[in-house]
């Protein structure tokens, strides 16, 4: 490896130059592309997702997954001419673009790996095994998800932790540094891009036939169950995201509503209004055209494609006089890939400049056993305050 000038000026930086490399673990859902994988995909998704909010016993997962596969098969193949999800291909394009942008700044000191929550051969454990074998020892966990919730970034962390336990060496953990980017719902660049995409669509297409006050804008978010067993449900960040985008548009286009893309599961109380209701409400207020703009999704998937298509078909039957437009997600737009890389720069810089962590996994058990010695000393006063302050500060990031 060629020594870089920084290494020469600062030879005490680390024992061996090869250590100073960061693996960026870009995480997404992954979506099945072939029907045979449906039941398997559903079972994994049910295990991880449903367990967080639905009172379902685990023995029910395999039969329920097969049942859901039948519904999915019906929706994907009969209703939509053998739909093949473009999700994984777009995600790969996002990975490559983000890596290209990061390598302009960091060279081969970083590499971007993709992991899918539910799709082999890119499950977190498989990808972390590869990262370890390639000699990376610092990790930036980066779910490419707009909003942080237990169903998105929370699952990512859960899966990474499970994998790291399996990959740990007995007395020394191979991971020497970690950072995490939970979401980007409030990043000004992302908010601006959302508004810009809507404005462009209106200027290029709808403005000739509709007054600004007749253009209904449904900003679609990922539906959230109201109860998530005390975990982060994603509702707060999704709501904030909606309000930030709405603020950019409302003075020019008065008819704006959030539309939640819910999975209509029985017994679960979902966020309202759903996207259909939102569109109907705007039509009632005089909208002669409706734009569905996905803001809570960065990568196209069956929800943004099929579900919205389905919603538009239903609305068209009732209101054939209205014009409907379905907008794409940001997907691999160059300006999005540039900003997504930019959001990672700060943490890569921190990881490259900080000293390596030395974590001995076998001490965790010893610590858990010796509970009493620490719990009463110095845990109150200063350190509690400090944590509280940190947390508060981060929130206004």
Residue spans of the domains in the chain: they are 35-78, 188-326
Which pLDDT belongs to residue 373?
A: 60
pLDDT digits (tens, 9 = 90+) for 268-295: 788 999 999 999 999 999 999 999 999 9
**Cα(140)–Cα(154) distance, integer angstroms:** 15
Whether the Cβ atoms of residue 38 and residue 73 lie closer than 8 Å to each other: yes
Dump the DSSP string for 46-113.
HHHHGGGTS---GGGHHHHHHHHHHHHHIIIIITTTS----HHHHHHHHHHHHHHHHHHHHGGGEEEE
What 3-state DSSP class applies to 290?
Answer: strand
Which pLDDT belongs to residue 50?
A: 59
What 3-state DSSP class applies to 215?
Answer: strand
Nearest one of 217, 224, 278, 223 to 247, comparing CA atoms: 217
- Sorting pLDDT into bands at 50, 70 and 90, what band is 52? low
pLDDT digits (tens, 9 = 90+) for 191-226: 999 999 999 999 999 999 999 999 999 999 998 888
Nearest one of 132, 131, 123, 193 to 158, comparing CA atoms: 123
Residue carrying structure tokens 């090869």: 18
- Sorting pLDDT into bands at 50, 70 and 90, what band is 388? very low
Whether the Cβ atoms of residue 27 and residue 33 lie closer than 8 Å to each other: no
CA angle 268, 274, 280 (to 5 degrees): 145
pLDDT tops 90 at residue 133 = yes
What 3-state DSSP class applies to 289?
Answer: strand
pLDDT tops 50 at residue 15 = no
**Cα(341)–Cα(335) distance, integer angstroms:** 10
Helices 334-353/188-201 angle, 10° precision: 170
Residue carrying structure tokens 């974590």: 359
Which pLDDT belongs to residue 37?
A: 58
Per DSSP, what are the bridge partners of residue 215?
289
- Sorting pLDDT into bands at 50, 70 and 90, what band is 389? very low
Tokens at residue 391, please? 């947390």
Whether the Cβ atoms of residue 255 and residue 287 lie closer than 8 Å to each other: yes
Mean pLDDT of 359-388: 66
Nearest one of 159, 126, 131, 130 to 143, comparing CA atoms: 159
Which pLDDT belongs to residue 369?
A: 87
pTM of the model: 0.80
Proportion of the chain above pLDDT 90, given as a percent: 56
Which pLDDT belongs to residue 29?
A: 83
**Cα(21)–Cα(112) distance, integer angstroms:** 11
CA quadruple 339, 296, 91, 127: dihedral positive or negative? positive
Alpha-carbon separation of residue 165 from 125, 324, 361 (angstroms): 10, 49, 9
Which pLDDT belongs to residue 92?
A: 97
Nearest one of 258, 260, 245, 243 to 307, comparing CA atoms: 260
Residues 6+ apart with CB under 8 A from 272: 260
Per the model's pLDDT, the better-predicted residue between 24 and 54 turns out to be 24
Which pLDDT belongs to residue 117?
A: 83
Mean pLDDT of 164-186: 92
Alpha-carbon separation of residue 11 from 16, 124, 217, 354 (angstroms): 9, 34, 57, 14
Helices 124-133/153-167 angle, 10° precision: 50
Per the model's pLDDT, the better-predicted residue between 93 and 392 turns out to be 93
CATH, range 188-326: 3.40.50.1400
Per DSSP, what are the bridge partners of residue 387?
none
Nearest one of 158, 179, 200, 212 to 345, comparing CA atoms: 179
- Sorting pLDDT into bands at 50, 70 and 90, what band is 372? low
- Sorting pLDDT into bands at 50, 70 and 90, what band is 391? very low
| Beta pairing class for 22-28 and 138-143 | parallel
Q: In 10 A of CB 225, how many CB atoms?
A: 24
**Cα(329)–Cα(219) distance, integer angstroms:** 11
Q: What is the dihedral of CA 192, 302, 181, 227, to 10 degrees?
A: 100
Mean pLDDT of 157-182: 91
């Amino acid at each position: 490896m060629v020594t870089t000038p920084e290494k020469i000026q600062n030879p005490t930086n680390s024992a061996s130059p090869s250590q100073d490399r960061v693996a960026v673990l870009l995480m997404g859902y992954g979506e099945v592309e072939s029907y045979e994988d449906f039941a398997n995909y559903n079972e994994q998704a049910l295990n991880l997702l449903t367990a967080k909010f639905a009172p379902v016993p685990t023995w029910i997962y395999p039969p329920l997954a097969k049942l859901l596969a039948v519904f999915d098969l019906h929706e994907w193949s009969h209703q939509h001419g053998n739909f093949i999800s473009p999700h994984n291909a777009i995600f790969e394009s996002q990975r490559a673009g983000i890596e290209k942008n990061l390598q302009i700044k960091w060279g081969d000191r970083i590499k971007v790996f993709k992991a899918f929550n539910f799709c082999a051969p890119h499950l977190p454990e498989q990808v972390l095994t590869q990262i370890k074998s390639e000699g990376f020892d610092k990790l930036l966990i980066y779910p490419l998800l707009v909003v942080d919730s237990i169903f998105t970034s929370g699952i990512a962390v859960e899966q990474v932790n499970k994998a790291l336990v399996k990959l740990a060496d007995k007395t020394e953990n191979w991971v020497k540094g970690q950072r995490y980017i939970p979401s980007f719902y409030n990043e000004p660049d992302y908010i601006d891009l959302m508004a810009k995409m809507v404005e462009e669509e209106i200027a290029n297409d709808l403005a000739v036939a509709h007054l600004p006050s007749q253009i209904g804008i449904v900003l679609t978010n990922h539906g959230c169950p109201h109860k998530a067993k005390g975990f982060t449900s994603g509702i707060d960040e999704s709501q904030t995201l909606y309000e930030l985008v709405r603020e950019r548009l409302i003075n020019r286009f008065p008819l704006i509503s959030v539309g939640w893309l819910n999975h209509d599961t029985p017994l679960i109380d979902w966020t309202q209004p759903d996207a259909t209701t939102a569109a109907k409400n705007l039509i009632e207020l005089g909208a002669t055209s409706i734009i569905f703009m996905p803001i809570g999704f960065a990568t196209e998937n069956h929800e943004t494609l099929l579900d919205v298509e389905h919603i538009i078909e239903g609305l068209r039957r009732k209101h054939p006089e209205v014009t409907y437009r379905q907008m794409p997600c940001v997907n691999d737009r160059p300006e999005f890939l540039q900003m997504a890389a930019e959001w990672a720069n700060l943490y890569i810089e921190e990881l490259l400049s900080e000293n390596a962590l030395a974590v001995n996994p076998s001490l965790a058990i010893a610590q858990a056993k010796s509970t009493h010695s620490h719990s009463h000393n110095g845990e109150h006063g200063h350190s509690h305050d400090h944590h509280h302050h940190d947390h508060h500060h981060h929130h206004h990031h």
